[in-house]
Structure 1
Amino acid sequence: MTNKLTACTSILIGKKASIDGSIMIGRNEDAKAAWPKHMVVHQHGELGPHFLSKDTKLAIDLPGDSARYTATPEWTDKEGLFEEDGINEYDVAMSATESAYANPLVLGCDPLVESGLNEEAMVTVVLPFVKSAREGVQRLGDLIAQHGSGEVNGVLFADNEEAWYFENGSGHYWVAQRIPDDSYAVVANQLAIQEVDFNDPDNFMFHPGIQDFVADHQLNPSPDSFNFRKIFGTADRSDAVYSEPRVWVGHQTFSPQAAQSEQPESSELPFIMKPERKLSVLDAQAYLSNHFEGTAFDPLGKGPVAHKYRPISLAKTQESHVLQMGRSTGANIHWLALGVAAQSTYVPFFNGITDVPAPYKRGKLPAQLNSAYWIFKHASVLVDSHLHDFLPLLEDVQKERRAAAIQLIKETDAELSRYTGDERTTFLNRQSSNFATDTLNAYKSLALDLITKMTDYSALNFNTDENL
């Protein structure tokens, strides 16, 4: 197993389920509370012909020139790259991975492979070499079938037409399901795909030997159907506390009538759901920022069950992203919130950019305040110090930045048709960079305001009688 197993939360939204016809895939990358990330844009042909994993030592020959793509790697590559998420020049988006778990019965028959393809390398060896979401699913599936994997994972793909969710449930065997256009899915550290229709290639892809594998090893508890989650996955007490409530709160948010009888610890929550209203990119961001606010389970509350369940947004979030595809009005968008999603701001980076501002390319240990990651984290920990007094100030900045982001996108969309070639690239670079820089400046100003206010909270303070 990798030294850094992330525990994430994901959302996928079909184009007819969204308010603007776009397709969205998003995920929180959760590992450590202080573990910096940064953003890069890899240029076309940058990767070279071979890849060697620092995590598992897996060596892979890469198929031709790599495409340009965005990514958010670790601050150190000592244990691997962990590029995690991005959009390539062919408008294919990928987010990897949603860590999951398989049951011992399955793993006894197809064990995990220590020298296989793990999370840290998946984006790097797949995203730069595919021209559609389906190609992404097939390439990842073929690589895992050939080399194996040391982890059980879920991986998100999207292009301008559709979104797919991929899962490998053992060392080599995998399935993937297309998200229906009118539906969404939320996933939280469990194998999620349920009934697989092997006669529906439009909506399902799979390892060619998976049916025989399950039959030969007598793994299916309900032979009249093929429920991938029940065959390969887990449904124990840790799932009920750690994973299922995050799926439940998504259903309560987007499908409250259909989900009104659902319980937060249920192991039968559906994978695919239809929203009861059209969903915007801000809805996707709000889900990834959710910490059970408005319920008794909010860890910011003080009731007896305030810390009963693991929230979606938490201190260990390194970055959160929403990859918005199929935008008919303009360029697709890589939305990135560095640090804790609930206390950060999603910054839109238009696909087609060739660079990002210097602070977004920085992020190391120890902390450095010329890094975007640490600028967001700095404001976050200051707010935490006096949450009741300071949270409204943070929320004011977030609201202003959200509205400014929507305004930026509308202005960019309206102007984009005027530009082609290098001028288009320059325009998208400028639009993305200016907003990203303005957002950092807003958080720097917030941090200074918080520090100023905190000076009066000192334990050494003393109320002097003005008559003395």
Structure 2
Amino acid sequence: MPLPPVRGKYTATPEWTTEFGLFEEDGINEYGVAMSATESAYTNNRVLGYDPLVENGIGEEAMVTVTLPYIKSAREGVKYLGAIIEKYGTNETNGILFSDANEVWYMETAGGHQWVAQRIPDDSYAVVSNQLSIQEVDFEDPENFMFKADLKQFVAMHHLNPNPTSFNFRNIFGLNDLSDEYYNTPRVWEGQRILNPEIIQSPVSHDLPFIRKASRLIQIEDVQQILSSHYEGTPYNPVGTGSEAEKHRFRPISLPATQESHILQIKPNQPIEVGGIHWLAMGVAAQSVYVPFFAGMSETPEMYHHGAKVYTADSAYWVFKLAGVLTDAHYKEFVKELNTTRSKVNIQMRNQLHDFEQRALELSDTTALEELLNQAGNEISATAIQAFQALSANLITKSTDLSPLYYQHNEEL
């Protein structure tokens, strides 16, 4: 598709390989808009029979690249991507997040050309797994809903709504099958359990609400906890005290297959260069740390330029991944040391971030500001990388005493 000749600056986290083209997963642009497009979902066969996926349509790997540089608000982002989907079609079902200083929107696609988006209220949150999640759509509320112009007519024409008295996007277009109870709904349950521990609900419920109000103000640390979760404090923790059946019943949020996990933060009372923070955890979030980068930076630390399928010591990804692999080999012996390192690093990075933020807000020269934000990225990430390098060195040393070939001499002989 042709792209506009002028585009805004933006940060992005690309897939590690360009073998299948450039895959930018998330980012923040210079206009103050954040976008994340890594949420795969599924449309049911009934809908696909009338609007099949388009083989050469857009997929999540291209959505950030062709949308984020050209939008100046979250609401505009929804309309912009919606127009692309209507014209070119999509080859998969996806969930896409847009946010700016004023609004947060969650958009979902279905079939080859259908889409809807809902504004997340300022006092609420949404936890989404790999399933269509938007529920009741109010076609008379343009402040909080956007959708393909003929969405309602498409559903009515093909008799797709199992409950014509309402318009529940999840029920009309989603799967809602048994696999959701093992793969998806437990993760939504876990996020809501962390933010609303007072609410009792089932992890296999198909009726978990899309939007909830938290029982407290939500902090960055709460979001990090959710994205790093493997059901700690429940019988479903794979490394917990539940039965073997319970420990392996549900898919955790944080998995060993994770390449990166991100949080996009926008502080409305600050310029986006400083108030936009791209938190990035390389590898498994449960065994890594979220390193903050300012959106106004113009270059990334050298170790973030390297990353391949095979381990190399000069890669930020492999530095964090190595510590996790070493911990996994002797989890009970090493997990406390891993978590102690994570805690200390998080405190250090928070102190550094606050210091750089205060210094940055005092600068009016754009060149000096850019240089300072680049320095912040280098120094804060170095704090994390050096701590994890030291952790790995210590774990390797301690592992030498844990070999199954180790022979303990009998002092009585």
TM range (shorter): over 0.9
| SS of aligned partner of 1:224 | coil
- Partner SS, residue 304 of structure 2: helix
Is 1:390 matched up with 2:334?
yes
How far is the alpha carbon of 1:462 from its aligned partner? 1.8
CA shift, 1:363, in A, is 0.4
Matching residue's letter, 1:218: H
Partners of 2:265 and 2:166 in 1: CA distance: 34
TM value normalised by structure 1:
0.85
Residue from 222, 226, 233 that aligns with 1:283: 222
User: Residues 254-300 of structure 1: CA distance to partner in whole angstroms, max 9, x if unpaired?
Assistant: 1123x31x111111110000000111001001100000110001111
In structure 2, C-alpha distance between the alignment counterparts of 1:171 and 1:291, rounded to whole Å: 34
| Cα distance in 1 for residues equivalent to 2:253 and 2:282 | 15
| CA root-mean-square deviation | 1.3
Q: Is the Cα–Cα contact under 8 Å of residues 349 and 383 in structure 2 kept in the other structure?
A: no
| Residue 205 (structure 1) aligned to one of 146, 149, 159 | 146
1:363 maps onto 2:307 in alignment: yes
* Pick aligned residue for 2:165 from 203, 214, 224: 224
Counterpart Cα distance in 1 of 2:299 and 2:408: 53
Matched, 1:112 2:57: no
Shift of 1:465: 4.5
Residues 97, 105 of structure 2: 8 Å contact kept: yes
- Residue 186 of structure 1: CA displacement? 0.2
- 8 Å Cα contact 2:261/2:285 also seen in 1: yes
Question: Match for residue 292 of structure 2?
Answer: 348
Higher helix share: 2
261, 264, 267: which one pairs with 1:320?
A: 261
Look up the equivalent residue of 1:231 and give its one-letter code. I
* 2:108 match: secondary structure: strand
Q: Is the 8 A contact 1:214 1:220 kept in 2?
A: yes
Residue 52 of structure 1: aligned partner? none
Give the alignment of 1:259-298 within 5 angstroms: 259-260=199-200, 262-298=201-237
Question: Quick one: which amino acid aligns to residue 191 of structure 1?
Answer: L
User: Structure 2 length normalisation: TM-score?
Assistant: 0.96
1:337-391 deviations in whole A, cap 9, x for unaligned?
0000000000000110001111111101222110001111111100001001100
Question: In structure 1, how many angstroms separate the alpha carbons of the residues matched to 2:354 and 2:55?
Answer: 47
Report if aligned partners of 1:161, 1:326 keep a CA contact under 8 Å in 2. no
Structure 1 unaligned regions, length at least 5: 1-59
The aligned counterpart of 1:152 is 93
Q: Provide the residue aligned with 1:433 in structure 2.
A: 378
Q: Is the 8 A contact 1:101 1:169 kept in 2?
A: yes
Aligned match of 1:452: 397
2:348–2:383 contact (8 Å) kept in structure 1 = no
3-state SS of 1:359 partner: helix
Q: Which runs of 4+ in 1 moved over 4 A?
A: 465-468
Aligned length: 407
Contact 1:94/1:156 (<8 A) preserved: yes
Q: SS at the partner of 1:461? A: coil
Task: List runs of 5+ in structure 2 lacking aligned partners.
Answer: none
Name whichever of 67-76 and 184-193 sits farther off.
Answer: 67-76
Distance 1:365 1:235 in 2: 35
